[in-house]
Structure 1
Amino acid sequence: MPKVVSANPGWHHHVTAMALIRGLPPRFLVALSLFLGATTLYLFTLAPSITQQHFGVDSGELTATAYTLGVAHPPGYPTFLLLAKTFSLVIPWGDVAHRVNVFSALSGAASVVLVYYISHLLIVRTFRVSGARLSRASAAAAVAAASFAFSPLFWSQSVIAEVYSLNALFTAGIMLLVLRWMRGCWPIIVAGLLMGLGLGNHLTLVFVALPFTYVMVLHRKELTPMLIAKLLGVFMLGLSVYIYLPVRASANPPISWGNAAILEGFLWTVSASTYRGLVFGLPLADLPERLVEWAYVLLRQFNTLGLLMGILGVWRLRVSKLPMLVFTVLLFLPSIAYSVTYKTNDAQVYLIPAFMVFALWIGVGLYWLVNLAVETFTLRLRLFASLPVVLFLAAFLVIPGLQVLLSYGDIGL
């Protein structure tokens, strides 16, 4: 029998690729799409080199310090310096400044993926989602993650050499792991490790300790002495990244703040005592103006529809799953309080964890609203079955989509 040869051999590869894609979990495909979309946008708007735009006054110092493996200004940022240096050695294109900017972009895109998984988990647990409604939960979580990805403040920090997109990655990673604790002990152990390591990137990660502790209190019966010992052990292991400071300071690098090679200099650096007066340092007379300004910043991140959807999400969590509301509020409020009262003009960058939480609330509110619309119209009036798709698409276009159109020109460098 003669051998049959395909007229188009590439067709077989196309079919194989499509079959492989169909075999992947739907949530993974959504997460991959979000990562690729965010990465593409961040790279298109990426700063080509060092910049002071978008509150990037430390961009040059952080890039140069990472390149020379020095010691940055307090608290030293050892985790950022080590990761940025490693990444700059791995990718083969661009100068060092461009490579560190790409590192920020990929950290931001990875954060978006984790926000998607957190949002999906939050929705599923709040509304006890199962069956066909899982696709709606995934769609709502995708809108929430995209809303965070394209919020102007977070977007701006993902295109420059700064520590805040990496801080968001640590924040989201710890939150997701803590919420997954019920699947075994390993998530809480990894979360403890990330907490220690992440504090080597930015000290404001300490705010995640509040929801972390809250979940531990809720599950205190499962906290065996052995688990607590392991948790403290891995936390200290992660925190040991600060050993980098005296080790490198003793090598006399070109950039070295505080003489961290000696104990006094090390403590001065890691405690960031030189900035202590800025913490809660805003005069009370300036507080009303700052609150109004920060409220506008929140509105600018998500626009009016996103703001209303987030408020709706808070209400639904209050009604349906109070512990989940407490979990998110314990990160939202400290981030707001710290940022509002921090006595610098660029303090709004500390709002990013709060905006991450607000994006999660948007996902909850959107999921509940779409379900309400489906139950009200589709079941009673037997309207078109694609109503959820239309509503989720409309929400995607109006909240994150509109933010891209409005902010692209301002953020692109």
Structure 2
Amino acid sequence: MLSPGQEEHCAPTKEPVKYGELVVLGYNGSLPNGDRGRRKSRFALYKRAKANGVKPSTVHILNTPQASKAVNCKGQHSISYTLSRNQTVVVEYSHDKDTDMFQIGRSTEGPIDFVVTDTVSGGGESEDTPITQSTISRFACRVVCERNPPYTARIYAAGFDSSKNIFLGEKAAKWKNPDGHMDGLTTNGVLVMHPRGGFTEESKPGVWREISVCGDVYTLRETRSAQTRGKLVAHPPGYPLFTILSSLMLLLLPLSSPAHSIHVLCAVFGAGASGALCFTVCRMAGPGPGAVLAGGVFAVSRLVWQWSVVAEVFSLNNLFVGVLFSLSACFHCAESVHHKKKFALWGALFCGLSLCNQHTLVLYVVIIIPWALLHLFTHNGLSFFGLVSLGTCFLAGFVPYIYLPISSYLNRARWSWGDQTSFHGLLTHLLRAEYGTFSLAKTDENLNLLKMLWAQWNHCVNDLSTPVLVLALLGILLSLWNRLRCVFIWLIVTMVSIYSVFFAWRANLNIEQPLLLGVVERFWLQADAGVCVLAGLGLSWAVCWLNGRLGRGTLWNTGAWILTAGLISHMISLNHKECDQSGNDVVDRFAREVVLSLPPNSLVLTRGDLPGNTLRYLHYCQGLRPDISLVDQEMMTYSWYVAKLQKHLPGVTFPGRWWDPINTMDKKTFSIEQFLKHNMQKVC
């Protein structure tokens, strides 16, 4: 890492690869020795002549201090997590030829590339200046840059000292991730913030997050050195169409509980999706075992089953995928231009409507629309009036989005997700700007494209089974001899391929962690639907081909039915135990025990999905404990939270517009200490 003055002398004749720059904007205080001399304020990160990056390798669980010293004395990079006096987990790091590492901190020792000068608060320098604990760690953090394009840079809390070690003591926040790997936070912490609106003059401060030792992104801790971590950053749930349909379900068919009603609704969506895939195969190849295979295998596959019995948007998205496939098949097989126009109008409407639910479907829509227009053009069915009609139907599908600004303006909802009364607020919500547009999360995590595609392939093999994939490939091959079949088959193949590659590129979560893999794999459902249709068509066309070449149609048809029944039965027996949640009431019992244990008129500060969502469900949806007030700590950091929800929390006082854990001096913001002082009588 070089300062601007050093760059001129050290740069070789060949232009070096420049990863980026670090700029010091200012210091909170004054230098102990005064302002004599020039302070470096800009530092450039260049590709090193030789890679010095490291990556985790061996993990040791040690029960004696002597064993810990023996491991740390190997001269190898390591991170030690002290769990107790008698137990330490040491993670050894090996050389990584594909990355460069740059370390930042207060220390001037050799391992530090970028020295951050410490300052004295108060702006004065005298003998009476009190010595305070520095908020800058000696080995604060490390930046790791990939040596190959696109030169992705990642930041990690803590840096390796002169002995190549990082120590997290007993009092440091540390934990074991679901995948079994250790992680933790440093005492001073490493905080990051991405401005809203990008790095422009009009940009506004974003939300501060904290980086862990292993590079994950968490919400802020309550205090700088708290031993409890924040929660992993998530994205906003739900979209307007799902909310409207859920509300209608609760109104028209109230069951034993709101959760039960919405779960039934999602199960109906899932069943409808399977039926739509079955109809798609029927329209292209006629009724038979292939159609049942497409719908049946999709219905009882692990992911579809799992996400069709919970209140989530994925089963509705599956339904829209099935409807678009069905309308595309009807449009493709229609015998007259008049019928093609009719199906095109319905398709345009559902293309718009589907985007009111889950935005990933846009990757199918942008392929279907030009395909349909080209198809109409080649059949002399395209006119100016026709284009206007199609555009009108497409825009009509977006009508549910009107619900967002209306609901935000009326402000009757006791729990909201943003302020959509302004165009900027609506656009922010539509683009998920606060959470990463066209990404799963607003992080710099970026996995290898091939690794993500390989994970999806393994999912298809394990969850859909090898015979289904073989039938899908057979369907592609058998379509090559028939132009009518070929066009539709390659439409499906193109959609599934582009979607899978694009999603693998933008799915910026580490799937090596089981929790994050569960987030990613839900989005593979959209591609699974296409694979099941291809498999159903492959089976149907294989039966027709065998019957045409060898005769004995009854024999081949019976064999196809046996194969279909066997595959579906096998998948049911395989997935039923894992997907059957009919007797699972753990979350409900947890929430009830928590909410019933609270004193009367309590103010409850929630943090995390499990306590937050479960308590809100019982409080808002089932009317349990109407005397308490629920305030979400993370949501308080958003500028819209207090403005939109303050009137629904009449007993709660907010001493500012939002909670800013960093800049507590701003007149518009408040600290958690100020919030507690104003509400001390109600705090629980």
2:359 paired with 1:203:
yes
Give how far 1:184 is off.
Answer: 4.1
Quick one: distance in 1 between partners of 2:471 and 2:438? 34
Provide the residue aligned with 2:403 in structure 1.
Answer: 244
Give how far 1:369 is off.
Answer: 2.5
2:230 paired with 1:230:
no
Q: 1:217 aligns with which of 367, 371, 374?
A: 374
Of stretches 96-105 and 145-154 in structure 1, the one that deviates more from structure 2 is 145-154
Q: 1:339 aligns with which of 495, 503, 524?
A: 503
Contact 1:75 1:269 in 2 (8 A): no
Q: 2:289 aligns with which of 103, 117, 139?
A: 139
2:437 paired with 1:272:
no
1:95-115 C-alpha deviation (Å, 9 max, x unpaired): 001111111000110111111
1:89-137 C-alpha deviation (Å, 9 max, x unpaired): 22132200111111100011011111111112222xxxxxxxxxx5xx4
Contact 2:419 2:425 in 1 (8 A): yes
Structure 1 residues 277 and 233, CA gap change in structure 2 (3 angstroms): closer
Instruction: Describe the SS at the equivalent of 2:500.
Output: helix
Provide the residue aligned with 1:348 in structure 2.
Answer: 521
Contact 1:316 1:364 in 2 (8 A): no
Instruction: Describe the SS at the equivalent of 2:424.
Output: helix
Give how far 1:282 is off.
Answer: 8.1
The structure carrying a bigger helix percent of its residues is 1
Quick one: distance in 2 between partners of 1:195 and 1:237? 10
Give the fraction of aligned pairs with identical amino acids, expressed as a percent. 23
Provide the residue aligned with 2:186 in structure 1.
Answer: none
RMSD of the TM alignment (CA)? Answer: 2.3
Q: 2:570 aligns with which of 392, 399, 402?
A: 402
Quick one: distance in 2 between partners of 1:83 and 1:91? 11
Quick one: distance in 1 between partners of 2:419 and 2:425? 5
After the TM superposition, which residues 258-337 of structure 1 pair with which residues of structure 2 at under 5 Å, given as runs? 258-276=418-436, 279=439, 286-320=448-482, 321-337=485-501
1:267-297 C-alpha deviation (Å, 9 max, x unpaired): 1111112233662988665334323321111
TM-score, normalized by length of structure 1?
0.73
Give how far 1:251 is off.
Answer: 2.1
**Matched letter for residue 155 of structure 1:** W
Quick one: distance in 2 between partners of 1:395 and 1:349? 27
Give 5+ residue unaligned stretches, structure 1.
1-72, 124-133, 380-384
**Matched letter for residue 555 of structure 2:** L
Quick one: distance in 1 between partners of 2:313 and 2:444? 23
Contact 1:318 1:325 in 2 (8 A): no
Give how far 1:155 is off.
Answer: 1.5
TM-score, normalized by length of structure 2?
0.45
Of stretches 285-294 and 100-109 in structure 1, the one that deviates more from structure 2 is 285-294
Structure 1 residues 179 and 393, CA gap change in structure 2 (3 angstroms): closer
Structure 1 residues 284 and 315, CA gap change in structure 2 (3 angstroms): farther
Quick one: distance in 2 between partners of 1:255 and 1:218? 46
Of stretches 150-159 and 78-87 in structure 1, the one that deviates more from structure 2 is 150-159
Structure 1 residues 178 and 365, CA gap change in structure 2 (3 angstroms): closer
Structure 1 residues 376 and 186, CA gap change in structure 2 (3 angstroms): closer
Quick one: distance in 2 between partners of 1:266 and 1:87? 26
Give how far 1:340 is off.
Answer: 2.1
Contact 1:114 1:173 in 2 (8 A): yes
**Matched letter for residue 265 of structure 1:** G
1:149-199 C-alpha deviation (Å, 9 max, x unpaired): 112111211111111111111122122223323324222112211221221
Structure 1 residues 234 and 377, CA gap change in structure 2 (3 angstroms): closer
Provide the residue aligned with 1:189 in structure 2.
Answer: 345
Q: 2:266 aligns with which of 97, 101, 104?
A: 104
Give how far 1:263 is off.
Answer: 2.0
Contact 1:302 1:400 in 2 (8 A): no
After the TM superposition, which residues 38-187 of structure 1 pair with which residues of structure 2 at under 5 Å, given as runs? 74=236, 77-123=239-285, 134=286, 137-181=287-331, 182=334, 183-187=339-343
Instruction: Describe the SS at the equivalent of 2:533.
Output: helix
Which of the pair has the greater relative contact order for Cα pairs under 8 Å at 6+ separation? 1
Of stretches 261-270 and 98-107 in structure 1, the one that deviates more from structure 2 is 261-270
2:546 paired with 1:390:
no
Instruction: Describe the SS at the equivalent of 1:315.
Output: helix
Instruction: Describe the SS at the equivalent of 1:219.
Output: helix
**Matched letter for residue 527 of structure 2:** A
Structure 1 residues 231 and 120, CA gap change in structure 2 (3 angstroms): same
Give how far 1:397 is off.
Answer: 2.5
Quick one: distance in 2 between partners of 1:282 and 1:143? 41
**Matched letter for residue 236 of structure 1:** L
**Matched letter for residue 323 of structure 1:** V
Structure 1 residues 141 and 76, CA gap change in structure 2 (3 angstroms): closer
Give how far 1:219 is off.
Answer: 2.1
Contact 1:305 1:398 in 2 (8 A): no
Provide the residue aligned with 1:359 in structure 2.
Answer: 532
Give how far 1:254 is off.
Answer: 1.4
1:202-251 C-alpha deviation (Å, 9 max, x unpaired): 11121222123212212213111111111111211221211111110112
Q: Runs of 4+ in structure 1 displaced over 4 angstroms?
A: 73-76, 280-285, 375-379
Contact 2:431 2:437 in 1 (8 A): no
Instruction: Describe the SS at the equivalent of 2:421.
Output: coil
**Matched letter for residue 238 of structure 1:** G
**Matched letter for residue 161 of structure 1:** A
- The structure having more radius of gyration, on CA atoms, is 2
Contact 1:118 1:175 in 2 (8 A): yes
Give how far 1:145 is off.
Answer: 1.3
Give how far 1:389 is off.
Answer: 4.0
Instruction: Describe the SS at the equivalent of 1:325.
Output: helix
Contact 1:279 1:338 in 2 (8 A): no
Provide the residue aligned with 1:131 in structure 2.
Answer: none
Quick one: distance in 1 between partners of 2:372 and 2:393? 18
Structure 1 residues 282 and 393, CA gap change in structure 2 (3 angstroms): farther
Structure 1 residues 399 and 99, CA gap change in structure 2 (3 angstroms): same
Give 5+ residue unaligned stretches, structure 2.
1-234, 510-515, 582-684
Instruction: Describe the SS at the equivalent of 1:222.
Output: coil
Instruction: Describe the SS at the equivalent of 2:435.
Output: helix
**Matched letter for residue 335 of structure 1:** Y
Contact 1:74 1:271 in 2 (8 A): no
Instruction: Describe the SS at the equivalent of 1:257.
Output: coil
Instruction: Describe the SS at the equivalent of 1:273.
Output: coil
**Matched letter for residue 537 of structure 2:** V
